[in-house]
Structure 1
């Protein structure tokens, strides 16, 4: 009988390494990248502890004046400031070391394209937003999705065996997974996990740029909108067992 252990840290760090590989072609746990790992851990733990309040503050920002929410809002603002400083430092470092002929990762590629096209938006601010999405939001959602997939696979051993068999047959025990790998069953299981356990049930808030009408509903300019994604993914009218993978 093996010992119980918590997968969260392993999954978070492995997905962080993937995201970091995309952005700066390094691992989060490489020497010199400790600040990135600390930031990612801070974001993930923040979601775990106060995720509901994060959503509440997005929907109703005036809630930050409530005494019970004030400290959470303060922590969020401090985290944002630390994240901005961290990403600005990363951008400055990559800009100093930039070789326009051999861009190394997403940051370098962005800087090269920005120099070529000279767009009107502020370079560092836009790049900082991309990095937040990849390193913070991308890591948390990806690691959470993997955890839920593992839960469902444990509950459904027959599905788990089919996933295992397809991976062994197509990729192999020593093979390297590729985006174009022919694994339709594995892809279907992942999509079902997305559907059953909607990680962002309200999606990302959007704001209208002008007055508009959608399906007969008038939406005024500068109105913040949310989508009820879970209601779409778990409709009992179209699915016999909407909560089952």
Structure 2
């Protein structure tokens, strides 16, 4: 056993190394350093690659080369560099990953987020058009958000009245946020006590929140080596079960489909399939698209909101200032129309999004042509990662980047000011389709939670640190707080 551990350690050391050297083209990238025992030099690379790469970027700059296994990666950590890269036509291709496709899809890149070429262009165009038809950007969708927010507030009231004031908050927003997205899928919503749905969310979390997924996807041989092989098999088993649930849903909705009654995205997809017999509209493409929606609903929004409650409990003066601003505006319930009158509240939501960075690294890309970034030439065929976590903490731009300071988004007159360095949904041509939905819903749910409830630390359940956990997406550690209804 001891010999096996030594062999495994040496193998991982060989797989994970930082490379120096010259990149083809007229310029050199900053050297990413080298160490013969990289696991000792940066032991967090396997569990927290985004944090390890952030640590390195502080030393080596916003454009650096990192060796991961047998591959060399270019890591971008500054807004201008990410902007330059993302706006290029040569940056839109995702890195092919057989391991990822086995787990997430059907052994090939499908859905809206991860395919390339004609499939991606056609499905993204169809997605944008369909979401507009379903009310995105219109008052009808805001009405649904407001109704779901009221349901959420009522559920919290019932919870503290029947089960006590100590409430577990790290997963509290999963179902309210999923209901916003799922209402677009087939005009249905889930009950907050739906245990089967909670199990499905846990299945997805076993994939998106698994810290070893990044290394498994980047270094395929790891899937054959314990303990990574056990992680791979467990994640794939859960995702296969989840895909089965989505297939059953598609079968059911197909049987009920009527062209004259379009209930949501599924029906629009089925309608388009009747006009287009190409593989772009097969069942498996729809199933993976639903998984894209599901992860967006139960993942990015809900974990940002959970971080919001954690930060607000740790910084009660911020929560008080948000409440006072809303209360002084005479608002019993906050709508999007109130946003211009609530600059500190909007600044707080922006600061939560910055520090949470629930999508720490945008889906990796492979360049299809040379791209000049930050004065360096990234040649065709290069593997590139955009470290959003590092960008949101980049000390070249942010003063005291690790501190929770909503004031950084206020001007000298106390008005809210945007900052282009906050890009929690990625940037450029492959930016998340649901950005506006997520931004608006996060603002509404956070503002109304602070307006309706006061959150405080329980002596019996001390709060964890704000260090995140997870993998492809990240969220707060498990935590519970005392929740009391305001007058």
TM exceeding 0.5: yes
CA apart distance, 1:53: 0.6
Q: Is the 8 A contact 1:16 1:135 kept in 2?
A: yes
Q: SS at 2:317's partner residue?
A: helix
- 1:10 maps to 172
Which moves more between the two structures, 115-124 or 195-204? 115-124
CA distance in 2, matches of 1:176, 1:187: 12
CA distance in 2, matches of 1:171, 1:104: 37
Alignment partner of 1:70 is 2:232: no
Which moves more between the two structures, 98-107 or 111-120? 111-120
- State TM-score, norm by structure 2: 0.44
Over 3 Å counting, the alpha-carbon distance change for 1:101 and 1:168 in structure 2 is: farther
User: Which of 224, 232, 241 is 1:82 aligned to?
Assistant: 241
Q: Is the 8 A contact 1:28 1:34 kept in 2?
A: no
User: Which of 369, 375, 390 is 1:211 aligned to?
Assistant: 369
Higher relative contact order (CA 8 A, sep 6+): 2
Give per-residue Cα distances to partners, 1:163-215, cap 9 Å, x unaligned.
22454567943x4745885444433322211212222222222233x232332
User: Which of 315, 327, 349 is 1:156 aligned to?
Assistant: 315
CA distance in 1, matches of 2:170, 2:206: 10
Q: SS at 2:378's partner residue?
A: strand
CA distance in 1, matches of 2:268, 2:343: 32
Q: Is the 8 A contact 2:174 2:297 kept in 1?
A: no
CA apart distance, 1:46: 5.2
Q: SS at 2:280's partner residue?
A: coil
- 2:393 maps to 234
Q: Relative to total residues, which structure has the larger helix share, 1 or 2? A: 1
CA distance in 1, matches of 2:206, 2:236: 15
Q: SS at 1:236's partner residue?
A: coil
Over 3 Å counting, the alpha-carbon distance change for 1:169 and 1:134 in structure 2 is: farther
Over 3 Å counting, the alpha-carbon distance change for 1:211 and 1:131 in structure 2 is: same
- State TM-score, norm by structure 1: 0.81
Aligned pairs for 1:20-99 (under 5 A) are 20-29=182-191, 35-45=196-206, 47-48=208-209, 51-99=210-258
Q: SS at 2:166's partner residue?
A: coil
Over 3 Å counting, the alpha-carbon distance change for 1:218 and 1:235 in structure 2 is: closer
Over 3 Å counting, the alpha-carbon distance change for 1:67 and 1:190 in structure 2 is: same
CA apart distance, 1:25: 1.9
CA apart distance, 1:131: 1.1
CA distance in 2, matches of 1:156, 1:190: 14
Structure 1, unaligned runs of 5 or more: none
Q: Is the 8 A contact 2:203 2:242 kept in 1?
A: no
Over 3 Å counting, the alpha-carbon distance change for 1:197 and 1:30 in structure 2 is: closer
Q: Is the 8 A contact 1:35 1:86 kept in 2?
A: no
Structure 2, unaligned runs of 5 or more: 1-163, 405-487
Q: Is the 8 A contact 2:364 2:385 kept in 1?
A: yes
Give per-residue Cα distances to partners, 1:198-245, cap 9 Å, x unaligned.
22222222233x232332333333x54211112211111222211122
CA distance in 2, matches of 1:149, 1:185: 14
Q: Relative to total residues, which structure has the larger strand share, 1 or 2? A: 2
- 2:380 maps to 220
Q: Is the 8 A contact 2:307 2:352 kept in 1?
A: yes
CA distance in 2, matches of 1:200, 1:138: 13
Q: SS at 2:371's partner residue?
A: strand
Bigger Rg, structure 1 or 2? 2
- 1:105 maps to 264
| Equivalent pairs, count | 238
Over 3 Å counting, the alpha-carbon distance change for 1:27 and 1:236 in structure 2 is: same
